Amino acid sequence: MTQIAESKNVALGAALDDAARDLPDGWQIHITIERGAGWAELHNPEGVRADDFDSTDLDLHESIRRGIRLAQKAEHVCKPSCHNPCLLEDW
């Protein structure tokens, strides 16, 4: 295995751990793998796929992290009293 492949494997494992820890309640990231391709889809607590989640230009670990941020941002909208600056950034 090349050093780049090892680095991507480590990044993917870390992203999966981050998702398990940081996704808001009820949100899910679905990962699909097929020969020659892999992608992630973000689903809200109602089970609806988030249409604004596009991960086609990202590595899988980056897609997972983007899904986490979008889910956190969506939940932040529901909590206007929160002043967490990391969620107010333009993702």
Domain ranges for the chain: 3-88
- The confidence score (pLDDT) of residue 40 equals 92
Question: Phi/psi at 23 (nearest 5 deg)?
Answer: -65, 135
Q: Extract the runs of DSSP E, i.e. beta strands, from the chain.
A: 28-34, 37-43
Of the two residues 2 and 67, the one the predictor is more confident about is 67
- In the chain, the percentage of residues whose pLDDT exceeds 70 is 81
Which uninterrupted H or E stretch holds 35?
none
Taking the CA atoms of residue 45, residue 51, residue 56 and residue 59 in that order, the dihedral angle to the nearest 10 degrees is -20
Task: Quick: pLDDT tens for 33-66.
Answer: 999 888 899 999 999 999 888 877 889 999 999 9
d(C-alpha 36, C-alpha 13), whole Å: 20
58 alpha carbon, distance to own chain's centre: 11
User: Region 67-82: what's the mean pLDDT?
Assistant: 76
